[in-house]
Amino acid sequence: MNYEIPDLNLKALFLGSKGENVDLFKELLLKVVDEHVGWRQNYQPQDLPVITPYDKSSQSFQDTADHMRSVFNELSSKLRTESLPWHTAGRFWGHMNSETLMPAIIAYTAAMLWNGNNVAYESSPGTSKMEEEVGHELAKMMSYKEGESWGHICADGSIANLEGLWYARNMKSLPLAIQEVAPEHVKGKSEWELLNMSTDEILNIMEQIPDQLDEVKAHSARSGKNLDKLGRWLIPQTKHYSWLKAADIIGIGLDCVEAIDVDSNYRMGIGKLEAKIRELAAQNIPILGVVGVVGSTEEGQIDHIHKIVELREKLAKEGIYYYIHVDAAYGGYARAIFLDENDEFIEYNKIDEVFKKHSIFTDMKLKNEWLTEDIYNSFKAMSQAESITIDPHKMGYIPYSAGAIVVRDTRMRDAISYFATYVFEKGADIPALLGAYILEGSKAGATAASVWTAHKVLPLNVTGYGKLMGASIEGAYRFYNFLKNRKFNVNGKVINLYPLTKPDFNMVDYVFNEEGNTDLVQMNKLNYEFFNHASYVKGSLYSNEFITSHTDFAIPDYGNSPLQFVQSLGFSKAEWDRAEKVTILRACALSPYAHDEEVFAEYAAKIEKAIHEKLEDIYNEMNE
Amino acid sequence: MNYEIPDLNLKALFLGSKGENVDLFKELLLKVVDEHVGWRQNYQPQDLPVITPYDKSSQSFQDTADHMRSVFNELSSKLRTESLPWHTAGRFWGHMNSETLMPAIIAYTAAMLWNGNNVAYESSPGTSKMEEEVGHELAKMMSYKEGESWGHICADGSIANLEGLWYARNMKSLPLAIQEVAPEHVKGKSEWELLNMSTDEILNIMEQIPDQLDEVKAHSARSGKNLDKLGRWLIPQTKHYSWLKAADIIGIGLDCVEAIDVDSNYRMGIGKLEAKIRELAAQNIPILGVVGVVGSTEEGQIDHIHKIVELREKLAKEGIYYYIHVDAAYGGYARAIFLDENDEFIEYNKIDEVFKKHSIFTDMKLKNEWLTEDIYNSFKAMSQAESITIDPHKMGYIPYSAGAIVVRDTRMRDAISYFATYVFEKGADIPALLGAYILEGSKAGATAASVWTAHKVLPLNVTGYGKLMGASIEGAYRFYNFLKNRKFNVNGKVINLYPLTKPDFNMVDYVFNEEGNTDLVQMNKLNYEFFNHASYVKGSLYSNEFITSHTDFAIPDYGNSPLQFVQSLGFSKAEWDRAEKVTILRACALSPYAHDEEVFAEYAAKIEKAIHEKLEDIYNEMNE
């Protein structure tokens, strides 16, 4: 169905910081349960129930039910004792956790009752169709062409990234395989040229040789051959361990991974990227691919995807080509904020007008603080990447776990797919055996139903998710501005708060430092202690009035990119070299409530007090 | 908590074929919702709700809620129209779908409300602990030693198998890395000897060189080097595509996969295995590992794991060693039926006594039909494998998706783990960053809670899951006996039913053939048509009175292993060579109700009639 989307009120879409919407939640939850049970009852109504009233009144039934009730008491106690209170409207500024969409939670439960397995259409016709729809919706959100692109849900971003690398590896190896199997199609090309063919060129040839497809595939990297010829996989210096793991698993190995330095804003340095590519090319080493990150795990920063794409266009003229995978596990859904009601990418100078129309950002000053042309262009250029990781369980506000990957050209599936004997039974557009086209096998139909329902409630543009993204970014900027220039007087000392960098998205990193302190190790200790006091580490999460997260930027991962920040706090280069890291506090600003000026103001006073108390505790402990 | 386990009544653990237990289901479901909401309300009760009564009565709130209600109407309709009615007590004999445990469903929903991400302890202390417990429980179910073994939940069996292969690949490469980094520890060993060191030997050396661990790891297969030296990965001939995919992804390549012929009971031929290993050894090609399958996807058959282990012991004397991975994605939980109240593996001659005590099998004749010493010994020997895939979402009766892998020796984790800067913050037994020790990243805490709750309700031995496994196997044998020698008279023809083989577990494969028919292509057509009539293919699933699944055993995957069966039906070898496959109908007998003699008898009459009607329809259509 196509829905007329009302002016969405985000407050109706979450259970609420105090469970305010519990009635609506229960109404829908019980409705899906009742409809499921009605379905069971009415399938072949001539069949009588096999669990009889006598069964139910038996001692063993009662005992079993009571045993189950006891187990649920324990489960509930454990969950209530050791979970994060991310539901609060303004006290949780920590790890990547937040409210998830009420429709997504209920849809998951609903579909779980039917328990489809989307690995095979036969097992789950309903939810398999939903997954196919969701894949196309996500592809469309990236402005991939309809009818030519594809996507699917997967377990998480690490798996999506691994699948992206699998695509890149097998794609890159195809020209060598074509040369072995159908050499007439790559006549006269040197090995260097074969390893620098564009994805389009390769796919166009593959399309011309359907009868040799299987043989070409058998000669591709999947055979285990030629992995050492495929070149280097370039990732940002902050190299998330999932990329190292992926290179390990996929068999190209860590030795093929090259880290490109990030700048002092934690974005991949494009000059450095070009220099590295030229340096490798001079040694006849091709580039397997380049990873751009949209929403880095630790800083939420956004690589300049448009510049990675422009560089590819420039180098193509010199015979160099690389696959681009965008790791937008975190930031992928944010592209919805740039799509108008018709899912068209909004012109830069129309943004204010469209945002106003759809009440995105209550305060346009905060929008102006956030949005730069580089951020805009980065999102816009995502459509040029071969594949993109997007996690519904992050900025999609879907419960864990729901990752996804989209590919620009459906034909790329041929590079990784398997055909079991029963794969073509359906002959429809939807793979009869999805497991033959993706990295995983069995997968919950419920995940597809959850994402599908969320997308139906909130379209992937300014009428839906765009609003939620705006609220999150606005909340982040309120928190960022709260931190800036804030001071605490503790036991006669002045403790200053410094944000790390202006956020590209909704993640705010920051540090505390004592005024006059020039000992970086000491500052790191203070921030680590602060994390301990603002997390599970020092006792009960439930009684904690301010919660945050932390990370370390250490030289092995970050090189000197934090140096500029560290120096801006008054530390010397020598001090940086001595400490070898800076401990950072980290806030994912995901609350759907904190963008509201009044709400934020109310909580700002509360968390300022809570932070002050923690600092006092820390200083008192240090003096003991 | 340790629970006194009552005499469990399986009928109290499922929603019921007609939703008989809906009251109990709702009681528990609403309890977990209320307890969650109470928790939200009472976290910092001084904070007021941010969603006010005014908000809730606003037009946009009402419109948004109504929009959401409309979407739920569509979701519910789609689910009810296109889902499989596996809830029926006796009409669904098809794909791997069935009732799932009520406690698992409710626990999933409960924990989803808190939305922990088990990738990091910080994000999910409660459910991270549950996952650690579940891992140890599964390891114990395999009789792995407590305190020395480990396990974790993963997305599904394909991912677990891939992780198993990742373990095997990196482990196998370690001796070469040790030779490069710490050669004194493998002094005098030839490359052949290095590539035939046992897992224990390797781990013992690794333990002696903690300071060189990282360097050794950097020289292992994860570097991308030496992949071509590691030898062959041996899998059963029926090679599930997930194994081909795994070899592709992991970079050893399909060329390193060797299929070992299965016998006419679809179990890996141990003589063939030995011959292949010797043939490869003669060419100086080592064995990377051997996969034994416990519960094959298409036949439910169980490889003789004890013989794979015995062969390894025999060959060890000749300097040949291989890693063993058991793919018990399907059959893993069945090991619970062999564990007594104290989780000890029951002696073979005590089985009847223990089964009687715990009411496993209502009819011991069916148990005697099923259980052979080979099946018993296969399960027993699983404890000798290095790693095992076990899917809670299959025989664990847990909703999709929940896979798992267990490793015999926790030290093996060093072969695949990554250390991010924040991994050791906790310093506890539980990885602070689970993502650094496993293939995936983000993962639902809810899955862990679901499996944890199920294991608490049904212990992994004869007092719990053993009963459920017994019910399933007993139901399978009732269906198997129903099929045997059954005939249908249709339009003057006699159609006979033939089971494929005596099931090792709970999967029953079968075919229809017209009496006197000697045309195998014709028989395949009949069975394919039958599947069409007994599945989603011919219209509404909801009005279908008998549902089954199908598969093809084709020469490329099966060689001549189906020949004996095909010949027993009266087809010639020439006919087999002509048809190149046999189309098989397939029933996973998972119903927790159909083992009951009366229930089965009632449904047997109904499905006999339904089958007869389908055959009539097919023959009438053929004559049109």
Cα–Cα nearest to A172, from A159, A191, A144: A191
| Average pLDDT for A318-335 | 98
Q: Residue B606's closest chain A neighbor by CA?
A: A47
Most B CBs within 10 A among A67, A106, A119, A240, hence the mutation to make, goes to A67
Q: Which residues contact A506 (CB under 8 A, 6 or more apart)?
A: A300, A472, A473, A475, A476, A588, A589, A590
Nearest to B439 among A74, A249, A603 (CB): A249
- What is the reported pLDDT for B239? 75
Q: What's the pLDDT band for A456 if we cut at 50, 70, 90?
A: very high
Most B CBs within 10 A among A17, A75, A105, A547, hence the mutation to make, goes to A75
Q: Do A20 and B253 touch (CB under 8 A)?
A: no
Most B CBs within 10 A among A8, A40, A180, A434, hence the mutation to make, goes to A40
Whole-number Å distance between alpha carbons of A539 and A503: 31
What is the least distance, in Å, from the CA of B576 to any CA of chain A? Answer: 17
- What is the reported pLDDT for B425? 42
* Cis peptide leading into residue A591 (ω within 30°): no
| Average pLDDT for A102-108 | 98
Chain B residues in contact with A126 (beta carbon < 8 A): 78-79, 81-83
ipTM, two decimals, is 0.97
Chain B residues in contact with A16 (beta carbon < 8 A): 40, 49-51
Q: Do A40 and B87 touch (CB under 8 A)?
A: yes
Cα–Cα nearest to A468, from A358, A558, A547: A358
Report which of residues A34 and A1 the model is more confident about. Answer: A34
φ, ψ for residue A284 (rounded to 5)? 65, 30
Using one digit for the tens of pLDDT, what is the confidence trace for B329-376?
Answer: 999 999 999 999 999 999 999 999 999 999 999 999 999 999 999 999
Q: From 2.60.40, 3.40.640, 1.20.120, 3.60.21, which CATH number describes the A157-328 domain?
A: 3.40.640
Q: Do A9 and B64 touch (CB under 8 A)?
A: yes
Nearest to B50 among A89, A123, A227 (CB): A89
Instruction: Give how far Cα A263 sits from Cα of A237, A271, A273, A532, A559, Å.
Output: 10, 10, 11, 30, 10
Q: Do A51 and B420 touch (CB under 8 A)?
A: no
Q: Residue A57's closest chain B neighbor by CA?
A: B12
In one letter, which amino acid is B96?
M
Q: Look at residue B623 and tell me whether its pLDDT is greater than 90.
A: no
CB contact at 8 A, B409 and B199: yes
Q: Look at residue A420 and tell me whether its pLDDT is greater than 70.
A: no
Q: What's the pLDDT band for A360 if we cut at 50, 70, 90?
A: very high
Percent of chain A scored above 70 by pLDDT?
Answer: 98
Q: Residue B45's closest chain A neighbor by CA?
A: A18
| Average pLDDT for A373-379 | 98
Chain B residues in contact with A158 (beta carbon < 8 A): 435, 439-442
Q: Residue B546's closest chain A neighbor by CA?
A: A44
Q: Do B225 and A253 touch (CB under 8 A)?
A: yes
Which residue numbers of A are catalytic? 422
Chain B residues in contact with A26 (beta carbon < 8 A): 30, 33
Q: What's the pLDDT band for B178 if we cut at 50, 70, 90?
A: very high
| Average pLDDT for B91-105 | 94
Cα–Cα nearest to A292, from A280, A308, A312, A276: A308
Q: Which residues contact A41 (CB under 8 A, 6 or more apart)?
A: B18, B19
Chain A residues in contact with B8 (beta carbon < 8 A): 60, 64, 67
Chain B residues in contact with A22 (beta carbon < 8 A): 33, 37
State the count of interchain CB pairs (< 8 A) between A and B. Answer: 541
Torsion of CA B158, B164, B166, B171, to 10 degrees: -170
Chain B residues in contact with A7 (beta carbon < 8 A): 60, 63
A79 membership: H or E segment, kind and range: helix A59-81
Percent of chain B scored above 70 by pLDDT?
Answer: 98
Q: Residue B65's closest chain A neighbor by CA?
A: A12
What is the least distance, in Å, from the CA of B190 to any CA of chain A? Answer: 25
> What is B148-470's CATH topology?
Aspartate Aminotransferase; domain 2 (3.40.640)
Mean pLDDT (chain B, rounded): 95
| Average pLDDT for B571-584 | 97
Numbers of helices and strands, H then E, in chain B: 22, 13
Whole-number Å distance between alpha carbons of A397 and A391: 9
Instruction: Give how far Cα B269 sits from Cα of A143, B242, B263, Å.
Output: 52, 21, 6
- What is the reported pLDDT for B418? 84
| Average pLDDT for A70-97 | 94
CB contact at 8 A, B441 and B559: no
- What is the reported pLDDT for A421? 40
What is the least distance, in Å, from the CA of A508 to any CA of chain B? Answer: 18
Most A CBs within 10 A among B401, B433, B558, hence the mutation to make, goes to B401
Chain A residues in contact with B6 (beta carbon < 8 A): 60, 63-64, 66-67
Q: Do B247 and A224 touch (CB under 8 A)?
A: yes
**Residue among B241, B422, B536, B542 flagged as catalytic:** B422
Cα–Cα nearest to A25, from A12, A34, A38, A39: A12
The secondary structure of A170-217 as a DSSP string is HHHHHHHHHHHH-GGGGTT--HHHHTT--HHHHHHHHHH-GGGHHHHH
What is the least distance, in Å, from the CA of A253 to any CA of chain B? Answer: 4
Chain B residues in contact with A49 (beta carbon < 8 A): 16-18, 20
Nearest to A421 among B63, B75, B557 (CB): B557
Domains of chain B by residue range: 148-470, 484-623
3-class secondary-structure state, position A19? coil
Q: Look at residue B423 and tell me whether its pLDDT is greater than 50.
A: no
Report which of residues A556 and B340 the model is more confident about. Answer: B340
Q: Look at residue B274 and tell me whether its pLDDT is greater than 70.
A: yes
Nearest to B51 among A21, A227, A252 (CB): A21
Q: Which residues contact A325 (CB under 8 A, 6 or more apart)?
A: A161, A164, A165, A167, A168, A289, A290, A291, A292, A385, A386, A387, A388, A389
What is the least distance, in Å, from the CA of B542 to any CA of chain A? Answer: 6
What is the least distance, in Å, from the CA of A408 to any CA of chain B? Answer: 21
Q: Do B11 and A55 touch (CB under 8 A)?
A: yes
Q: Do A403 and B442 touch (CB under 8 A)?
A: yes
Q: What's the pLDDT band for B428 if we cut at 50, 70, 90?
A: low
CB contact at 8 A, B151 and B138: yes
| Average pLDDT for A71-76 | 98
Chain A residues in contact with B254 (beta carbon < 8 A): 218, 222-224
- What is the reported pLDDT for B162? 98
Q: Do A72 and B36 touch (CB under 8 A)?
A: no
Q: How many CB atoms lie within 10 A of CB A6?
A: 17
Using one digit for the tens of pLDDT, what is the confidence trace for A462-520?
Answer: 999 999 999 999 999 999 999 999 999 999 999 999 999 999 999 999 999 999 999 99
Whole-number Å distance between alpha carbons of A93 and A91: 6
| Average pLDDT for B264-275 | 95
Q: Look at residue A231 and tell me whether its pLDDT is greater than 50.
A: yes
Instruction: Give how far Cα A307 sits from Cα of A274, A310, A311, A439, Å.
Output: 10, 5, 6, 30
Instruction: Give how far Cα B77 sits from Cα of A1, A127, B86, Å.
Output: 12, 12, 18
Chain A residues in contact with B31 (beta carbon < 8 A): 72, 76
Most B CBs within 10 A among A161, A232, A400, hence the mutation to make, goes to A400
Using one digit for the tens of pLDDT, what is the confidence trace for A423-434?
Answer: 444 445 788 889
The β-bridge relationship of strands A287-293 and A323-328 is parallel
Is residue B422 flagged as an active site residue? Answer: yes
Nearest to B122 among A224, A401, A535 (CB): A535
Q: Look at residue B284 and tell me whether its pLDDT is greater than 50.
A: yes
Q: Do A418 and B244 touch (CB under 8 A)?
A: yes
What is the least distance, in Å, from the CA of A541 to any CA of chain B? Answer: 10
- What is the reported pLDDT for B291? 98
| Average pLDDT for B323-334 | 98
Q: Do B103 and A581 touch (CB under 8 A)?
A: no
Q: Do A158 and B442 touch (CB under 8 A)?
A: yes
> Among A527-531, B94-98, B130-134, which stretch is predicted with the lowest mean pLDDT?
B94-98
The β-bridge relationship of strands A581-588 and A547-554 is antiparallel
